[in-house]
Structure 1
């Protein structure tokens, strides 16, 4: 009888330890810096070396499946961060990038394909210092025209069609008067 009670006690202790371990991991994961909300996104960004001690302004947040993409400004320069959802439902950052032009393009590779689209997104961030009012992007035979509000921070997401895997890109930019800006090449 004592052996049976000991086995039962050991199973009970193991069960209690297991429940405590699972609860601790679940609750603890929700306190990590993550990308679950805008406040936590900013904290995560500022925890990355290249964004320490910078001002952060979130421009746009885009969720694609299990991934979260954030367009933001770091000291008024365009930047982005890419989060992927973990097993606990929290977003963990995977990559971050910044540029120092008032109109900047970022090529973002998603883990999974989107419906009828490739796993490649083009993020264009325009700052309030941007003087380009319109962009024509030729991606292979696909013409994509985007207009920008001047003196306003904005983000535009371009999803490339799925039927093609390799793209060549050609950009044309227009000033506030609609005049083509010549390339400096």
Structure 2
């Protein structure tokens, strides 16, 4: 079984450019009841991804099936034309295949920027490392759920302030990475990102 892929990331991307899920549906959080979640991928309090722990086994099996499908994929001599936001299978730098959407087709025709919908990461990879994705893999909701903390600002700042690397909220998130947390949905922006409150136990603060 594949292991959970929890990680943090340098604060290199803009908070407002969360990729759109145009074709692959999003997993849903309950907007009434508390959700038990785990942090999958964290950048800032305005950009992080969670997953539902009860979906981990389903996702692991899904990944096994995707790897098998890509191993059996037959390359053709005809070149494939790709477009923005197209769902594809993409091989990361560890030779693992993931579902992805195309964010940018670089002008050099060699590289492509993709968003791994089940991990929450963006990466530039060779265009030779992507394949068309069949409908059976497109229908499954994305494992990574985009979130941001509701009405929170950097220490001694406001909503327009940048998050500094030494802000104590980063430490709280890092401590929480391997633990379940209660998550309350407060709002949902543009149907692609949940504004949430997360109950962080005092021992992690």
Which band: TM-score by shorter chain?
Answer: under 0.3
Structure number with the higher strand fraction is: 1
* TM-score (ref. length: structure 2): 0.24
Decide which structure has the larger Cα Rg and report it.
Answer: 1
